[in-house]
A and B are shown apart, each in its own frame.
Chain A
């Protein structure tokens, strides 16, 4: 499965690297990867790039957290909002419920693994 562009939003460069590596190891490809270190950066990219096929975002970030980023992206990008996959080290039930109301694909609990991507996205290769 190939995506046009995948936007990865996480304040940790290490986590961004791990997410990309696991995504590719799961058998998915992207024409290009875009990276943001906060929800605010992610929102800027989401509003300026038209070919984003998937957004993968952390929850706990400085400047603008994941839920705020997703909420603003859905509101400001309207129908152009890409599918969103959330990754997080913790699962806050109320936050996850709120995120589901924005139509996210699901939540992957860190540590991210290729298998977790395959379960969430389906269609990957072994």
Chain B
């Protein structure tokens, strides 16, 4: 699967997955960032979800605090959200992004195995260069989504 991996197709699939998830769940419009300065992913929240099948890799997201707040507020019904774990909102959001990406790339009928999403305390970028890195903008708030790097299984 890795050998036939298409970075261009993956980039389109990941972008569409993020855009659609933001539209459906957070009611926010997402587009590629027009900023040319490198994104400084400090503070905010890092979250990742690992895939074991059909591709051994992961999606890694960085949301600035302001965007994480917007996502949580959009999902939170009046009077109920305070009882719920803020991090769980982001994890479920990432879970849906991952599902949309896999469906966009591989279709609906494929064997998949996902790990549970998790919040990271550091960005954890020591595994190598990502397969896809998207610098995006959600109504003025820049954020980053990466796919990979791919992992070999022995």
Which residues of A are at the interface with B, using a C-beta cutoff of 8 A?
11-15, 17-18, 21, 60, 62, 88-96, 109-111, 113
Contact = CB atoms under 8 A, between A and B. Distances in A.
Interface stretch (B6-14, B80-88, B132-140): B80-88
Contacts of B96: 89, 110-111
A13 B100 CA distance: 20
B19 to A, nearest CB: 13
Given A90-B103, A91-B103, A111 B111 contact: no
A47 to B, nearest CB: 25
Interface residues of B, number: 26
Contacts, number: 66
Contacts of A95: 111
B73 interface: no
A60 B75 contact: no
A90 B114 contact: yes
Contacts of A17: 77, 80, 84
A18 B71 CA distance: 13
Given A15-B92, A95-B111, A109-B103, 15 more contacts: A12-B92, A12-B95, A14-B84, A14-B85, A14-B88, A14-B91, A17-B77, A17-B84, A60-B114, A60-B116, A91-B108, A91-B110, A92-B110, A93-B109, A113-B24
